[in-house]
Amino acid sequence: MISMSSVKHLRIPFSLFLMPIFFFALALTPNHHESRIIWVFIALHLFLYPSSNGYNSYFDKDEESIGGLKHPPKVTSDLYWLSQFLFVVALTIGWTINWSFALMMFIYGLVSMAYSHPAVRLKKYPWTSWFVAGFFQGYFTFAMAYAGLSDLDWDVLIKPHVFIPGLLTSLMLWGNYPLTQVFQHGEDSRRGDRTVSLLLGIKGTFLFSALVFLITGGAYVGYFISRDQHHIVWIFLAAMVPIMLYFLIWFNFIRLDPSKYANYSWAMGMNYMSALFMNAFFLYYFFENTQILQVMGF
């Protein structure tokens, strides 16, 4: 029997934070097909990501706030099997699209498992876990979605038109990822996990993320200019303004009292703000690239 605790630990709404990558891949996909769009979305956001969340929760057994759960319920044994079932369903859906997409999901799942599994536990290694999480949730996920949406083989991983935007998504995640860890220093320390945020300290985390965000913004601007999409630059910057304002306000409070404001509510607020405006931007970019807006008269 599946417990309510296990359902909560799947953190399905948390998939919202990775949705901009799907929309970015969709915007650049040359071969749109309605059924593939639907099934790739379902495979990733309703099965693969929740499977990963549940699996990591099972081994972490967090007692304090985690991403998507302010008060995580006690982990039960059925969570492990539920996460594995969802993983198999995701791979099965992927296989109906093509074997490359299924294989890429399988690799993503194995890397995700290595993040928290005691035999490997990448979380113990600050820079390794930071790089791996940003790389696989960013570039690799972009390429995976692109392959599934376009029904292409996994050699898309080395194609420049996939590698460059995929790397941009990783840059964004490399900047944001440490911010998701600032409220978990206590539990991470007790468990022996050495995260990047713990290594840098709270203020150091914000300075590091600010630098990466600056590089990321410049890289996105350069990318859109290289595609002769100068008008997109301004829309992208407009979408980034509220995100950066939230970050700066939060950083200002952190400077006053790190222990008080490095908490779950502020961190999740940053995630939701980023997801809201980045999803909106990449949806617009999809409509713009496919000229759907022009057809609709906009």
Write down the domain spans for the chain: 4-292
Full pLDDT tens readout for the chain, 298 residues: 788 888 898 999 888 899 999 999 999 998 888 999 999 999 999 999 999 999 998 988 877 777 777 888 898 999 999 999 999 999 999 999 999 999 999 999 999 999 988 888 888 899 999 999 999 999 999 999 999 999 999 889 999 999 999 999 999 999 999 999 898 887 777 777 788 999 999 999 999 999 999 999 999 999 999 999 999 999 999 999 999 999 999 999 999 998 889 999 999 999 999 999 999 999 999 998 886 655 444 5
DSSP letter string, the chain: ---HHHHHHH-GGGGGGGHHHHHHHHHH-SS--HHHHHHHHHIIIIIIHHHHHHHHHHHH--SS-BTTBSSPPPP-THHHHHHHHHHHHHHHHHHHH-HHHHHHHHHHHHHHHHHH-TTT-GGGSHHHHHHHHHIIIIIIHHHHHHHHHHT--GGGGG-HHHHHHHHHHHHHHHHHGGGGGTT-HHHHHHHT---HHHHH-HHHHHHHHHHHHHHHHHHHHHHHHHTT-HHHHHHHHHHHHHHHHHHHHHHHHHHH-HHHHSSHHHHHHHHHHHHHHHHHHHHHHHHHHTTHHHHTT-
CATH number belonging to domain 4-292: 1.10.600
List C-alpha distances in Å: 272 to 29, 45, 188, 266.
26, 16, 23, 10
CA dist., res. 258 & res. 206, Å (int): 11
pLDDT at 277: 97
CA dist., res. 17 & res. 20, Å (int): 7
pLDDT at 292: 61
pTM: 0.94
Query: Hey, what long-range contacts does 117-125 have (CB within 8 A, 24 or more apart)?
Result: 117/59, 118/59, 121/193, 123/188, 123/193, 123/194, 123/195, 124/192, 124/193, 124/194, 125/194
pLDDT at 273: 95
pLDDT at 293: 53
Which residues sit opposite 66 in a β-bridge? 69
* Crossing angle between the packed helical segments 141-150 and 34-42, to the nearest 10 degrees: 150
What are 4's two structure tokens?
């309510």
Is 65 within 8 Å of 50 (Cβ atoms)? Answer: no
CA dist., res. 112 & res. 129, Å (int): 10
